[in-house]
Structure 1
Amino acid sequence: MTANSDSHHSGRLQLDSREFNDFRDYLQKIAGIDLGHNKQYLVSTRIRRIMIDYQCETLGELTTKIKSPVNKELRQKVVDAMTTNETFWFRDLYPFEYFRNTLLPELTQNKTNNRIRIWSAACSSGQEPYSLSIVVEEFIRSQLGLSSLPLEIVATDLSSKVLENARNGEYDRLSIARGLSEQRLKTYFDQPDTDTWRVKNTVKQRISFKPLNLQESFVLLGRFDIVFCRNVLIYFSPELKKDILTRIHGAMKPGGYLFLGSSESLSGANDLFEMVHCNPGVVYRAI
């Protein structure tokens, strides 16, 4: 062990600025994550455990290892650690209310639309697509004479680990506490044991989970009526944001709706969408 090893166990790594820049550039290249110059502390706390597990003394050693084609698993672990997978049920409420009260009735009445398609981009551990599917269930139950709805939700994320968790649809007490009402918990979840809640199959069956890096092509996903791409663009550079929004527009049906996070904007893609006020909040319609 080197003299630097004490800092491994103190929770803070001393990061060489050249090595930090090299790591930062590589992370941007493979995942699009735009780390600021001042994010050394964030990096050191999030990858400290990985560096210990893989016996890397320096960030430079770790970067060399993740660049090697044989270390795919390690590369995925680093990406997982550096993407914030914090998520809530029915986050910010208004997108889900607007989806239920305005968009679902509109899309259901549009007879040319034989199948409604929704994309939950950067779905993390699954709370967003499951929240959307719960809203669809509630909408179906509220409509007399409607027993089902030809609707599909495609949920994607960069992280294979969180996608696996999302696909399982099992959540602990802490995850369940963030945004779920008692009524929805009773109606749409089973409880296999005292500390685990599992999403019911009626909610699960309309969702397909797929790995996707937003820097790559969306063409194979098909076209969508509604896209939720919330609280993910904040990690990207302005150029990449604009590129992603342009390609999302290309994956939308004419007049489709895009929801961004409450602190996010169109970042240079204003000519592709018009703003619609939901009061509170806004949604963007593809032009």
Structure 2
Amino acid sequence: MTGLTPNFEYVRSVVKNAAGISLDKGKDYLIENRLAPVASKHGFDSIPDLVQEMMDEGEGGTIERIVIDALTINETSFFRDQAVFDHLEQTVLPQIIKKNAGTKRLKIWSAACSTGQEIYSTAILLKERFPRLKDWHIGLHATDISDRVLEQARSGTYSEFELNRGISPALKEKYFNKVSEFDWQICEEIRQSVSFSRHNLVGAWNGLGMYDVILLRNVLIYFELPEKQLILSHARKHINEGGHLFLGASETTFNIDSNWVSEGTTSASFQVKGKEVRNIGI
């Protein structure tokens, strides 16, 4: 350690209070590894100096936001967990399309979207498999607490490595353009079909609207029970009748929020009790 340990509890409390993210007491190494380059980039001689500046600025300061951004876990890939996208294609979207045939509207939200691969995968799925939606009003929205990952998501630019994690050669050829020796950018049509904004899951949920599908995958695992309950409670208020909530494969609403019921699939999909629920499998 380089003098970080006395500051650990403060950093931990800030991240917990501001973002709801719990950093275990054994994660000193994570803080040090994530904050060392941040301190250097912003002209601080050490991590303790960075933390002191955060203390001096107080709640909501610039350094606090930078620190939270650095400590946010941002693991994602294109078409991550193919079973989810199969379930969307084969069951969920056909159900919603039938239900919404009168309004011709479909809204999907990717929460904690990281660098955007999930929502772009969804946009590609709609383009590839549902051409009959071309005259529908499709709303694809994605949010994250990290300004850094949102910047990349909006640009839609990915390295060869990032692209090869889930994108087939055929889709790569069809939807991506090479912009440098190692980077590719998703085509403008797909990029323009998605809107991105900053959102804190444990903050206010104002202005988010209603959705037919909410993708909240692999994020609840970073929160403790009260924050999980808060997030699931908010999600219930923003999902349309017959809408679907997707969690990560290891996540559940069981013993957290009894207002949700599992669809009985391997894709961790749920609906609100009292709304159109079917026990289906993949």
TM-score, length basis structure 1? 0.87
Q: How many residues align?
A: 270
1:203-262 C-alpha deviation (Å, 9 max, x unpaired): 122211011011112230101111001111111111111111111111111221000011
Task: State the Cα deviation string for residues 5-36 of structure 1 (Å, max 9, x = none).
Answer: xxxxxxx53433x4211211111111111011
Match of 1:119 among 102, 105, 109: 109
- CA RMSD across the alignment: 2.0
Verify: 1:137 aligned to 2:143, yes or no: no
Query: What is the correspondence of 1:138-177 to structure 2 with a 5 Å cutoff?
Result: 138-141=128-131, 143=132, 147-177=134-164
Unaligned ranges ≥5, structure 1: 1-11
1:65–1:71 Cα contact (<8 Å) kept: no
Deviating runs (4+, > 6 A) in structure 1?
none
Q: 1:56 to 1:254 in 2, by over 3 A?
A: farther
Deviation at 1:50, TM superposition (A): 2.1
| C-alpha distance in structure 2 between counterparts of 1:51 and 1:219, whole Å | 33
Question: Which residue does the alignment assign to 1:64?
Answer: 52
User: Structure 1 pair 112/69, CA: closer, same or farther in 2 (3 Å)?
Assistant: farther
Q: Measured at CA, do residues 153 and 215 of structure 1 come closer, stay the same or move farther in structure 2, by a change above 3 Å?
A: same
**1:242/1:268 contact within 8 Å kept:** no
- Which of 20, 44, 56 is the equivalent residue of 2:8? 20
**Structure 1 232/184 Cα, relative in aligned 2: closer, same or farther at 3 Å?**
same
Instruction: Name 1:212's counterpart in structure 2.
Output: 199
For residues 38-85 of structure 1, the C-alpha deviation after alignment (integer angstroms, 9 at most, x for no partner) is 1111111111122334425453x4333224159844323211211121
| Amino acid in the other structure paired with 2:243 | G
Structure 2: 5+ residue stretches without partners? 274-282
Is 1:99 the counterpart of 2:88 in the alignment?
yes
- Does residue 32 in structure 1 map to residue 25 in structure 2? no
User: Which whole-Å CA distance do the structure 2 matches of 1:265 and 1:238 have between them?
Assistant: 12
Q: Percent identity?
A: 31
